[in-house]
Each structure stands twice: as structure tokens, then as C-alpha cells.
Structure 1
Amino acid sequence: MQHRFRINSYWNIKGRAIVLSLVLLTVAQGLMGQFSNKDWYISPKISFADYSNRHDWDGYSIQKVPPISLAVEKGLTDYLSAGALMGFSRDKYKNDTLATNVHRYSEFAFGGVANVHFAGWIEKWTNYKVFLGDWDFYAGLSLLMKWNNAREDDVWNEETQQLVSSKSADFNFSVSPLVGVRYFVNDNFCMLLEIGPGNMGFFTTGITFRIPSQYY
């Protein structure tokens, strides 16, 4: 089994440009965020990622568990939240001709998240309620530990002219940005869309349940 350790940082010029564009968009649209201090936010999510380019999977039956995750965060101030995220995904490819030829790939992630919520800040800066509506715009960072496992059974090796099997594991620690938007359907339920590598996939959607502080 092979083990590799990598440290990746995605906070670059492109990420900063996305965040800046999002701030400008919130100002232009004139919307109000409903994020509030001390409340808990529980968000089941699903990401969109395609790992099928590892091989040509023509002639294989494919089973997938898409990248799913659960984030739990708490409002620390009127502008900042922090919490934890865990996620999982799995791909399985089984050869339609040789049943023992199976490829399995899985990923498990766990770590912390912190988000900055812009609406309250801009209202405070302008000293005027410029936002109207039921929206929350935010940007943040995820510090994630990811474990990737691969198992390949009865794969044809051209050099040895034999069927071989192998296993490998990969540990990856990443500090990655994301930007997101929530639309509150009511005071305690909203839909979300997030963009950035701070999730299990670059594009992520889901829902959020808010638990107001007066309930605990």
C-alpha cells in the first residue's frame, strides 16, 4: 500500500476575484441576508464531480455514490460562522466480461469551515438598510482532511502479461475557498448553492435548516 501526503492551497487570484464579484453582486442586487448570530445551521449537500476520466470505462457497469456531505455551523457574530463538515463519495466499475475485474475508488473528508456573511457588514457600513429580500451571501474557507482509497482487482498488466491486483491510499490536507448563496424559503429553511473546492466537488447544492438560539 502506498501513502502520499500533499498540502494543497487553492486560495489564489481567481478565488479572490470570485469573492469580490460576489460582494459587488450583493450590492447591486439590493438583497438582505437572514444570517443571524448564535443560531445553528445544518446543511446536507450534494456535489457534482466526475472522476470517470481515470480510465476508459466502456464495457463496465458503473455504480456511484455521488459526493455527499453534511455541514454544521454556528453563528459566532452577526457576520461570522464556523463549524465542521464531513463528506463521502464512492465509484465502482465492474467489467461486463471479466466479473473479477473490479475498480473501486472512495473518498472520505472531515474538517472545519468558516464563513463570512456580507449583508450585515454592508448595512453597517452604509448605515442604511440597502438589502431587501430573503438572501444570504457568504464566502469562506474549508480546512479538510481527505482520505482517498483505490482498489483494482484483476487488471491486465502489459509488462508481465498477467492479471494483477493493487491497493493504494492517499491522504490530502487542503485549505480551500468557497462562495455561496442561500435563499430562505421561510425563517428556518433555505436552499443553497456553493462554488469552490471547499466542498467534496466544485459545484455544490443542498438545503439548510436553521435552529434559532431561543430553541436551546
Structure 2
Amino acid sequence: MKQSKLLIICLTIFSMNLSAQIKKGTNLADLGIGLSSYGTPFHFAYEHLVTNEIGIGVALNYTSYKDTGYLNDYKWSFIYGGIKGNYHFNELLNLNSKFDVYGGLTLGYWKASLSNDNITSNTSYGNSAFITGQVGARYFFNDKFSALLEAGGGNISGLTAGVSLKF
């Protein structure tokens, strides 16, 4: 019983203000970091809304870390890049204007490289095209600035937290 009351209260709060925070023509730039055993992944994305619900853009992720081998220390570097498309659920779900909830697909390519004092090479560890899904949410503190949380999307860590700028 307590859980259903809490759910009703949350849904009421989320649907109080039905005006759209984002709309056709909006541009979003995301900067974030992830958690990973492969270093600290850095995330950048840009998205342009072509309708009130559909946005297209690009994403780029990078991380590197050092690994100690038997004879040498190695440095791994990973770069993920892709084209992404998102559906923004705000109007469909009548969400509060401070929230942006979205999901979509990313088509991209990721490259791994390995280096030490003696070599720099592309490895067979990765270097491949990918298609993957992502889900995310933004909470707008004001009309231009929001917190971001995104899972998937070819992100090296699988989960990215950061900020989004709307312009």
C-alpha cells in the first residue's frame, strides 16, 4: 500500500508541468565521465532535435589505462565514435519540463590500440563496427544546464554521468 502511494506521488510530481523543455531545433552538448576498469572514460556527444521527439547526433568516447606485463608495461587506448538517434519521451509520457527521458540507437566504430616503449599497434582486441542501444535522462536545473545519466550507446563504461548544455 505504501509503495502504490509513493508511486502516485512520484507520478504526480513528474507530470505537474507539461510544457516541453526541449523542442524541434534544440541542440544538446553532453560532457561526461564513466566508471570502468579500463581507466576513466571521457564522453562527448552532440544532438540536434529534428522534431519535438526525435534527435540525431554524434558521440565520441575515449579512455586509456596502463597494464603491467611480464616484460613491459603496456598502455591500452580505446576510442568509440558513432552516429546516434534518440526518441525523447517527454510529450508521450507527459513528463515535467525539468526532465528529458530518451532512448535510441548508436551506429559506430570502436578502435583499440596497444603501445609500450617498443611497439604501437592496432590490436585484434576490438576494432569493429557496432550497433547498440542507449537510454538516458537529463534533469534541467535551468533552461540551459542539466545533469545527465546515460547507459549503453557504445560508451566504454556502459554508464556515463555528466552535464548537458542546451543551446
TM-score by length of 2: 0.79
Mapped contact 1:36–1:75 kept (Cα < 8 A): yes
When the two structures are aligned, how many residues end up with a matched partner? 152
User: Does residue 1:68 correspond to 2:42, yes or no?
Assistant: yes
> Which residue of structure 2 aligns with residue 87 of structure 1?
61
- Quote the offset at 1:168 in angstroms: 4.2
Cα distance in 2 between the residues matched to 1:166 and 1:114? 34
- Relative contact order: is structure 1 or structure 2 higher (C-alpha 8 Å, sep ≥ 6)? 1
The two structures, once aligned, show a CA RMSD in angstroms of: 2.5
> Which residue of structure 1 aligns with residue 4 of structure 2?
none
Mapped contact 1:141–1:198 kept (Cα < 8 A): no
Higher helix share: 1
> Which residue of structure 2 aligns with residue 16 of structure 1?
none
Mapped contact 2:66–2:76 kept (Cα < 8 A): yes
User: Does residue 1:107 correspond to 2:63, yes or no?
Assistant: no
Q: Percent identity?
A: 25
User: Does residue 1:120 correspond to 2:91, yes or no?
Assistant: yes
SS at the partner of 1:29? helix
The 5-angstrom pairing of residues 1-216 of structure 1 reads 29-30=11-12, 31=14, 34-51=21-38, 64=39, 66-94=40-68, 101-123=72-94, 131-151=95-115, 167-169=121-123, 170-211=126-167
Unpaired segments of 5 or more residues in structure 2?
A: 1-6
SS at the partner of 2:141? strand
SS at the partner of 1:186? coil
1:134-179: per-residue Cα shift (whole Å, max 9, x none)? 111111111121110123568xxxxxxxxxx784424111101111
Opposite residue 112 of structure 2, the aligned amino acid is N
SS at the partner of 1:49? coil
Cα distance in 2 between the residues matched to 1:182 and 1:34? 10
Mapped contact 2:34–2:41 kept (Cα < 8 A): yes
TM-score by length of 1: 0.63
Unpaired segments of 5 or more residues in structure 1?
A: 1-24, 52-63, 124-130, 155-164, 212-216
Considering only CA atoms, is the larger Rg found in Structure 1 or Structure 2? 1
Cα distance in 1 between the residues matched to 2:120 and 2:165? 42
1:21-65: per-residue Cα shift (whole Å, max 9, x none)? xxxx9xx735256221101101111122213xxxxxxxxxxxx4x
Opposite residue 67 of structure 2, the aligned amino acid is Y
Q: Which runs of 4+ in 1 moved over 6 A?
A: none
Cα distance in 2 between the residues matched to 1:46 and 1:166? 26
Q: Assess, with a 3 A threshold, how the Cα gap between structure 1 residues 166 and 46 changes in structure 2: closer, same or farther.
A: closer
